[in-house]
Amino acid sequence: MFQQPLPNEYTELSDEDTSERIGKAKSSLGRDLVILGHHYQRDEIIRWADFRGDSLKLSQLAAKNCGARYIVFCGVHFMAETADILTSDQQIVVLPNLAAGCSMADMASIHQLNHCWQTITRHVPSEKIVPITYVNSSAEVKAFVGRNGGACCTSSNARKVLEWALTQGEKALFLPDQHLGRNTAFQLGFDPDRDMLLWDPNQPMGGIAPDDYLSKKILLWKGHCSVHGRFNLHQIEAARKLHSGIKIIVHPECTLDVVKAADMAGSTEFIVKQISQASAGSSWAVGTEINLVNRLAQEHPDQHIACLDPIICPCSTMYRIHPHFLCWALENLAQGKVVNRIQVSPKIADDARLSLERMLSIV
């Protein structure tokens, strides 16, 4: 699916006119419409969101709003797919800009995963391998995991899911984010050198020697988040020198050395909760996407909140949900025309739902 260019009527709109038209279209759709806004969206999008949160939370909210005919997901492609999987057949999920993808999700295609699985299972035929996929993955990858007895995870429940996986088999394959997998396994006491290996989908045989499979428990996929990969130890050291007593809080998609050096590490929702509950006058350097950091700073002016990376670090693909695209999508819906519908095929949706339901059943 490719995003068609917007008509000049939309690209030439002023900010004021765009806002006015979004408001009118949203009002005309009434209860038939729910707009979901991911935490990383710009403020000009978040202002129209009926709900905001991380990807899974928003998909679950979409499923609960069964009275809404249209779910407009201001996020990226895999999020809209997950919403379509979890909502009813009568609901229509729309992604305002089809170019809003996820570079991490794109690092693990179903063809690469099939090759990886065939190679690994051939080298360790006597051991059961349980696949785990981060929700930042395509519906096809989620479906593969579901078919093969695995589960999805989020950054907030990755530890529980990995613990569960290792009760179901001898090894776990964690994809597509190597850093979330490594950080989670490290929390459980696994050694990165002794117990983990890294599968590179762009190398023959994953770049792994056959004998290495035997001694490793955690198989990590070589994928990463381009935003969270920017944070480093130098930034943490600089923040601590600049502000005495500052708290460093980062997302577990950061590298292991950054997570170990930080005071706290957790999901987007965890970061929001910790800062929201912090006392006035506290100082924070936050290792996550800049739109969320800036919003937290605006909402908590009694605290000093700044991004750990002094150079702006937006999620470039998330940023493609421009107000012009939201206006275009909503006005088409108001006229009875559905554009940019995200629809997962029934077979893939059924298998993907298995991996999501297993995740939600793990407590």
The gap from C-alpha 158 to its chain's centroid, in whole angstroms, comes to 13
Give 113-132 pLDDT, tens digit per residue. 999 999 999 999 999 999 99
Residue 31 has pLDDT above 90, yes or no: yes
pLDDT of the residue at 96: 96
CATH number of 228-307: 3.40.50.10800
Q: Of residues 86 and 335, which shows the higher confidence score?
A: 335
Other C-beta atoms closer than 10 Å to the C-beta of 203 total 11
Give tens-digit pLDDT for 286-311.
999 888 999 999 999 999 999 999 77
The pLDDT value recorded for residue 284 is 97
Average pLDDT over the chain, rounded to whole? 93
Quick one: fold of 8-101+317-344? Rossmann fold (3.40.50)
Contact between 181 and 131 under an 8 Å Cβ cutoff? The reply is no
Query: Judging by beta carbons within 10 Å of its beta carbon (0-12, 13-18, 19+), is residue 340 exposed, middle or buried?
Result: buried
Task: In the chain, count H helices and then E strands.
Answer: 18, 13
Cβ(181)–Cβ(218) under 8 Å? yes
Answer yes or no: is pLDDT of 1 > 70: no
Note whether 8-101+317-344 and 228-307 share their fold: yes
pLDDT of residue 177: 98
Decide which of 65 and 74 is more confident: 74
Q: Which residue has the tokens 């421009």?
A: 322
What's the confidence (pLDDT) of residue 57?
A: 79
Q: Tell me: pLDDT of 210 over 90.
A: no
Cis before residue 131, ω within 30 degrees of 0?
no
Q: Domain segments of the chain: what residues?
A: 8-101+317-344, 105-225, 228-307
Instruction: Determine the CATH number of domain 105-225.
Output: 3.40.50.10800
Residue with tokens 């944070």: 231
pLDDT given at position 363: 66
Residues 244-299: pLDDT tens digits?
899 999 999 999 999 999 999 999 999 999 999 999 999 999 999 888 999 999 99
- The percent of residues above 90 in pLDDT, for the chain, comes to 80
Residue 170 neighbours by CB under 8 Å, 6+ apart: 124, 127, 128, 129, 217
Output the pLDDT for position 313. Answer: 66
pLDDT reported for residue 58: 79
3-state helix, strand, coil in the chain (%, to 5): 50, 15, 35
Q: Which of 169, 167, 165 is nearest to 153 (CA)?
A: 165
| DSSP strands (E only) in the chain | 33-38, 51-53, 70-74, 92-94, 129-134, 151-153, 171-175, 196-199, 218-221, 247-250, 264-265, 283-287, 304-307
What is the distance between the alpha carbons of residues 341 and 95, in angstroms, rounded to a whole number? Answer: 7
Listed in order, strand segments (DSSP E) in 188-347 are 196-199, 218-221, 247-250, 264-265, 283-287, 304-307
288 vs 315: CA distance, rounded Å: 10
Q: What is the pLDDT of residue 60?
A: 80
